[in-house]
Amino acid sequence: MGMVGGGRGAFIGAVHRMAAALDGEIALVCGAFSADPEKSRLSGEDLCVPPQRVYDSFETMIHAEKRLPLGDRMDFVSIVTPNHLHYAPARMALENGFHVVCDKPLCFNMDEALHLQKLVEETGLIFALTHNYTGYPMVKQARAMVKNGDIGQIRKIVVEYPQGWLTNKVEDTGYKQAEWRTDPKRSGIAGAMGDIGTHAENLAEYITGLKISELCADISTFVPGRLLDDDGNVLLRFDNGAKGILHASQISAGEENDLNIRIYGTKAGLQWFQMQPNSLIVKWLDKPMEILRTGGGTLYPEAAAHTRIPGGHPEGYLEAFANIYRNAAICIRARLDGVEAPAVYQDFPTVSDGVRGMNFIEKVIESGKSEAKWVSL
């Protein structure tokens, strides 16, 4: 892979590199790690990338790599920049025949999202979006249970993502991660709802297979002087008639990263907590509650295929992230070999999930500002 962004001082770039490297399927061979050429060069040195393949810009990288023979050039581009810098390298990579793995949300606005979706459709290239929470084995177990009718018809979905790290105006203290996430010029029209609300939306749609059809949002900015939302509460209507509640907050003091979801069907309810990811709680209507565990007992093949180590050994954030990279790599390798990848490894978020996320962001903010409140997706 080649990487755009992720140079010295970047948080998510290092996460992407660790995830990509975990299964030995992917090698980092080139990069444009910063808009600052010197910082990009130094970052390349840190990462042991050959100096001739450390580039001053993503444009230079894509053109130079395209001139290399197959087998030597990068096979895909990993984009790990802030939101406003996703679209241009993704578009150029697709236009020049390179597959893409991109951090979420997909891009800056809906127009960019739809253009990327059109390019993927036209080129047939692989585009993976790192909604990493879909990579957990127990999330895949929950999805398989829903798909196979184990919990019956879904009636209610409650998904929450509370954090507390933006309780104070830390973006004024030089905290880089807070600076760009609260800046509408770099983050887009949404703050918390774009950063973590999209994870909650994506998780609900991924597990259930349902689509949000309408929403009603109450969006707040609690910290004085902050330019984007830091808290939101959303009522949801799904395309099968189910109802739901989504809340995402970055001012919930004392909370760490408590993404969790509850799904209620006519036969049972499912409950999963990101901070205890190896457990899936199944609450049956007519028999005792069960706790399913990663690596233990009889799980669906979708969960087993994304479990690396024996039960009782925690698999967490990096392993879930790595499942997306591994699956994308298996599909890219299969494409290069002219074969079909096994279906179980074709499971990763795509550009279409990114378009759903951008639609969700825009409609949440529209509803939050509207007197009418209910808006359609």
Tell me the domain boundaries of the chain.
Answer: 2-129, 135-311+355-376
Question: If we measure between CA atoms, which residue out of 184, 221, 182, 163 comes closest to residue 368?
Answer: 221
Mean pLDDT of residues grouped by 10 in the chain (377 residues)?
Answer: 95 96 97 96 97 97 97 97 96 98 96 98 98 98 98 98 98 95 96 97 98 98 98 98 98 98 98 97 97 94 95 93 98 96 97 97 96 89
What pLDDT is recorded for position 373? 85
CA 172 to chain centre: 27
What pLDDT is recorded for position 299? 96
Check if 2-129 and 135-311+355-376 are the same fold. Answer: no
What pLDDT is recorded for position 9? 86
What secondary structure letter does DSSP report for 371?
S
The residues near 48 (Cβ < 8 Å, ≥ 6 apart) are: none
- β-strand 260-265 against 268-273: which pairing, if any? antiparallel
Helix 198-208 and helix 137-147, axial crossing angle in degrees, nearest 10: 50
Whole-angstrom distance, CA of residue 189 vs CA of residue 166: 17
What pLDDT is recorded for position 252? 98
Report the run of H or E that residue 287 belongs to, with start and end: none
Beta bridge partners of 282: 270, 290
In angstroms, the Cα distances linking 286 to 264, 266, 292 are: 14, 11, 17
Question: If we measure between CA atoms, which residue out of 86, 110, 90, 83 comes closest to residue 361?
Answer: 110
Beta bridge partners of 233: 218, 247
Beta strand segments in the chain, E: 2-4, 30-32, 76-79, 99-102, 127-129, 154-162, 212-220, 231-238, 243-249, 260-265, 268-273, 279-284, 290-293, 375-376
CA dihedral for 352, 317, 87, 219, sign (positive or negative): positive
What pLDDT is recorded for position 119? 98
Whole-angstrom distance, CA of residue 57 vs CA of residue 55: 6
**Per CATH, is 2-129 categorized as 3.40.50.150?**
no
> What is the fold, at CATH topology level, of the domain defined by 135-311+355-376?
Dihydrodipicolinate Reductase; domain 2 (3.30.360)
